[in-house]
Amino acid sequence: MTHRQGFTLLEVLIAVAIISASMITLSLATMGNNLRIRKTALNNNVAVLLERKMTEVEALYREKTLDEIPEEESGDFGSEYKQYRWTLKSQKFEFPDLSSLLISQDQGEEMLLTVMKQTQEFISKSVKEVTVSVFVKTPAREIEYSVTTYFVSYDEELTLGGGGN
């Protein structure tokens, strides 16, 4: 009776294949998790920086006139956030023309259209749209995240019809 010791070549190859497949699966899962962690950190930084910059903008221009809000501004977040930068863009708010929705066969159509046009002009003069964007440089490209707010001037007067307030 012969006693066999050791493994055959086939058994060793099967064991190596199983270990290799396990290691590849484990490394792919780890790389995927690391990618998700980096993406989550990036999104968290963007949210914090957008909130911080928008709060600064609102505090800076809250008591100023709409004309004092610059049309464009930009900057960075210092050495702590080297891959991030920000821009501010503002424009007068363009109220959509709703007159086509109001046109009907009713009497008073002309007066309604006049009031609508004056209201449109009033809102366009009284509201300024401000968009703050944060840009992130990634190895592949630069990604933009934006938040928009509206500044309202309560000092404008609305005149309707024949000059009455």
User: pLDDT by residue for the chain (165 residues), tens digit each?
Assistant: 566 677 888 888 999 999 999 999 888 888 888 888 988 988 899 999 999 999 999 999 988 999 999 999 999 999 999 999 999 999 988 877 776 666 654 555 777 777 778 888 888 888 999 999 999 998 889 999 999 999 998 877 766 655 444
Q: Which residues pair with 6 in a beta bridge?
A: none
Assigned domain for 3 exists: no
The predicted pLDDT at position 9 comes to 87
Assigned domain for 38 exists: yes
Assigned domain for 24 exists: yes
Assigned domain for 160 exists: no
The predicted pLDDT at position 159 comes to 67
The predicted pLDDT at position 47 comes to 94
Assigned domain for 159 exists: no
The predicted pLDDT at position 3 comes to 64
Assigned domain for 164 exists: no
Q: How many Cβ atoms from other residues are within 10 Å of residue 60's Cβ?
A: 12
Distance CA 161, CA 157 (A): 13
Q: Which residues contact 50 (CB under 8 A, 6 or more apart)?
A: 132, 134, 145, 147
Residues of the domain holding 27: 9-152
pTM of structure: 0.68
The predicted pLDDT at position 164 comes to 45
Assigned domain for 157 exists: no
Assigned domain for 158 exists: no
Domain count, the chain: 1
103: left (phi over 0), alpha (psi -120 to 50) or beta: beta
The predicted pLDDT at position 60 comes to 94
